[in-house]
Amino acid sequence: MIREFKKLSGDLVDSNVIFDYCKDQVELPNGRVEEYIACRHKGASAVIPVLDDGRILMVRQYRYAIGRVTLEIPAGGRDSREEPFETAARRELEEEAGYTTDGELEHLITIATAIAYCDEIIEVYVARGLKKTSQHLDPDEFIEVEPYTIEELVDMIYDGRIQDSKTIASLMAYRNSIS
């Protein structure tokens, strides 16, 4: 039986708006002490915006870390660890896609993005009953919004045009929920 590791101490090495970078001293189940590095994240929300005709709004944007333009579902970090995930999802829906919904967001799936070194959790919601507003992009965001059918998106996953893990997991879970 695998037992949990015990954190003995932790040091904050660096911090920025996205995550805290920590070095922790950890006792392993066999008593050995090791240093572990972890990124601590506030968490994020993502949303699958479904138009009345069933198409899904996707956002196309440049991602600096991988050096290319990607096609993703709208998503973004919470403003604080206390902010409700649903609040962040509604904000990102309007900021990135330029839509709101008066209806409830349906929780779809929880994703742990990089479990080997980061504690980021993304809560994914489905939004229906969309109302067009306008995008409220951050100064460093340049986003185009494009509608696709779920079949088109699944094809793009399988041929490699969509590679973002949160988008793949979310779209496949959504597809499973409607079939």
pLDDT (tens, 9 = 90+) of the chain, 179 residues, equals 788 999 999 999 998 888 899 999 999 999 999 999 999 999 999 999 999 999 999 999 999 999 999 999 999 999 999 999 999 999 999 999 999 998 889 999 999 999 999 999 999 999 999 999 999 988 888 999 999 999 999 999 999 999 999 999 999 999 999 98
pLDDT of residue 103: 85
* Residue boundaries of the structural domains of the chain: 6-41, 44-178
pLDDT of residue 81: 92
pLDDT of residue 30: 93
> Other C-beta atoms within 10 Å of 89: how many?
27
pLDDT of residue 86: 97
Read off the pTM. Answer: 0.91
Distance of alpha carbon 163 from alpha carbon 158, whole angstroms = 9
Helices (H), 17-149: 85-92
Distance of alpha carbon 12 from alpha carbon 37, whole angstroms = 10
CB 118 within 8 A of CB 19: yes
Check whether domain 44-178 has CATH 3.90.79.10, yes or no: yes
**CA-based nearest residue to 142, from 108, 95, 176:** 95
**CA-based nearest residue to 48, from 2, 89, 103:** 89
> Other C-beta atoms within 10 Å of 172: how many?
15
